[in-house]
A and B are shown apart, each in its own frame.
Chain A
């Protein structure tokens, strides 16, 4: 398998602090309302507990990216060396087709530049040997950078509840699912 970088989202560790989203914002200074990374609380149907669990999501740098396939001006490329899907904003004409087509809502519309944009997996930082800003900032190591060619964690899943199932795209993000807290009764510890 070729090198394919992706995010590992550990929902068991994530505390929903939004530091990853803020780190992304600090790194790229997107326009107000434009977010490349967002932290989504799991709904009660999936995680029925007063404590919340979260998925920190951005672009999934899919093996077969819909954004790349539907873009009429070829503004997306997938890097051979690490599988990162890069959007070339200077080529974008702002048709919004990638925004409508991505089932994960990764590309966003920049209302000032009138073009799409999305998470770049900090490829400039990667090329400099650094971790992406979001990964570096996570205080609980709930967000990690993985290479799917070598990643081998038995409890990792690709399509957990709360994440759209799009196997044809083969998104590179992997998850560890949140677990409900165990209630320890007095009789359990006797």
Chain B
């Protein structure tokens, strides 16, 4: 269990970041760059809240005893996981309310703010001392990139023509940042201690890692740069890439305990 695929957590983290990404992109709309018809706006927020709720539901299947899940908010004083559960639970409610109230500006901003805070907290959950490669801001950066790429791509399903250029620019920026991050971070790990070097080697040897770099980042970037607007299939390709990348994140990040008795 120290290093395993953790599929429920893969689905949960990716879906929750998609939902947060959609919320963050709607903040751009509220600045007046484009306007969306009320039914389309409601659809966007309903999709965001449904995706978030689905992610939370799937995360329960990862627990040995899911019936105890409500107690997971009892250790808010020190446990980032408790804070994550509380924030994401609040986020589902906020997103649902935003959808029902016609995406009023205060609710949109509140949802996006809670979502952003949720990403920070989620980043802290996955940066324990047991994973030297992740015991830093890398998890948060990866999660932010996933939220930005998936959010900007999926928002094009709901945005009218005048919103597409902004979403395209946002997506291109996020994909560039993601590509740099994904290629540079393992190189930095490769210059670290034994466990970090082992993590870098495991990532480099993983086909899923390269699938993420190509399918989730490079290919969409190449396609989006060549076209005037984001094709409707691009979000699905980015989603598939993000899932590959997240599997590598859980499966191939080396735990310190795997090297007991060896050099660190």
Q: Which residues of A contact B (CB under 8 A)?
A: 38, 40-43, 45-46, 54-55, 57, 66, 68-74, 91-97, 99-105, 108-109, 113-115, 161-166, 168-169
CB-based contact A109/B73 at 8 Å: no
CB-based contact A42/B261 at 8 Å: yes
Residues B54-92 near A (CB distance < 8 A): 62-66, 68-69, 71-75, 78-82, 85
- Shortest distance in angstroms between B4's beta carbon and chain A's nearest beta carbon? 9
CB-based contact A92/B256 at 8 Å: no
- What chain A residues lie within 8 Å of B1 (beta carbons)? 96, 99-100, 108-109
CB-based contact A57/B74 at 8 Å: no
| Cα(A102)–Cα(B263), bound, Å | 18
CB-based contact A103/B261 at 8 Å: no
CB-based contact A105/B65 at 8 Å: no
CB-based contact A55/B261 at 8 Å: yes
Residues B205-264 near A (CB distance < 8 A): 255-264
The chain B residue sitting closest to A95, CB to CB, is B63
Q: Which of A55, A72, A92, A102 contacts B81 (CB 8 A)?
A: A72
| Cα(A163)–Cα(B82), bound, Å | 30
Q: Which of B71, B81, B129 contacts A103 (CB 8 A)?
A: B129
CB-based contact A104/B256 at 8 Å: yes
- Shortest distance in angstroms between B238's beta carbon and chain A's nearest beta carbon? 27
Most buried by A among B1, B62, B85, B125: B1
CB-based contact A166/B74 at 8 Å: no
Helix, strand, loop or mixed for chain A's interface?
Answer: loop
Residues B113-135 near A (CB distance < 8 A): 125, 128-131
- What chain B residues lie within 8 Å of A93 (beta carbons)? 63-66, 68-69, 71-72
- What chain B residues lie within 8 Å of A100 (beta carbons)? 1-2, 128, 130-131, 255
| Cα(A11)–Cα(B154), bound, Å | 58
Most buried by B among A38, A96, A104: A96
- What chain A residues lie within 8 Å of B255 (beta carbons)? 100, 103, 105
- Shortest distance in angstroms between A129's beta carbon and chain B's nearest beta carbon? 32
CB-based contact A73/B71 at 8 Å: yes
- Shortest distance in angstroms between A105's beta carbon and chain B's nearest beta carbon? 3
| Cα(A99)–Cα(B131), bound, Å | 11
CB-based contact B79/A105 at 8 Å: no
Q: How large is the interface on B (under 10, 10 to 19, 20 to 34, 35 or more residues)?
A: 35 or more
CB-based contact B65/A114 at 8 Å: yes
| Cα(A74)–Cα(B81), bound, Å | 11
| Cα(A94)–Cα(B68), bound, Å | 9
- What chain B residues lie within 8 Å of A165 (beta carbons)? 264
- Shortest distance in angstroms between A24's beta carbon and chain B's nearest beta carbon? 16
| Given contacts A103-B129, A168-B129, A43 and B75 within 8 Å (CB-CB) | no
The chain A residue sitting closest to B135, CB to CB, is A103
| Cα(A74)–Cα(B128), bound, Å | 17
CB-based contact A40/B261 at 8 Å: yes
The chain A residue sitting closest to B195, CB to CB, is A164
The 7 lowest CB-CB distance pairs between A and B, nearest first, are A94-B64, A105-B257, A114-B64, A101-B128, A93-B68, A40-B261, A72-B81
- What chain A residues lie within 8 Å of B71 (beta carbons)? 72-73, 91, 93
- What chain B residues lie within 8 Å of A42 (beta carbons)? 261-262
Q: Which of B64, B75, B128, B263 contacts A92 (CB 8 A)?
A: B64
CB-based contact B73/A72 at 8 Å: yes
CB-based contact B78/A41 at 8 Å: no
- Shortest distance in angstroms between B24's beta carbon and chain A's nearest beta carbon? 26
Most buried by B among A38, A42, A97, A114: A97
| Given contacts A93-B68, A100-B128, A70 and B260 within 8 Å (CB-CB) | no
| Cα(A163)–Cα(B186), bound, Å | 24
- What chain B residues lie within 8 Å of A166 (beta carbons)? 129, 256
Q: Which of A71, A72, A101, A113 contacts B129 (CB 8 A)?
A: A101
CB-based contact B81/A97 at 8 Å: yes
| Cα(A168)–Cα(B129), bound, Å | 9
- What chain B residues lie within 8 Å of A40 (beta carbons)? 260-261
- Shortest distance in angstroms between B90's beta carbon and chain A's nearest beta carbon? 16
CB-based contact A66/B129 at 8 Å: yes
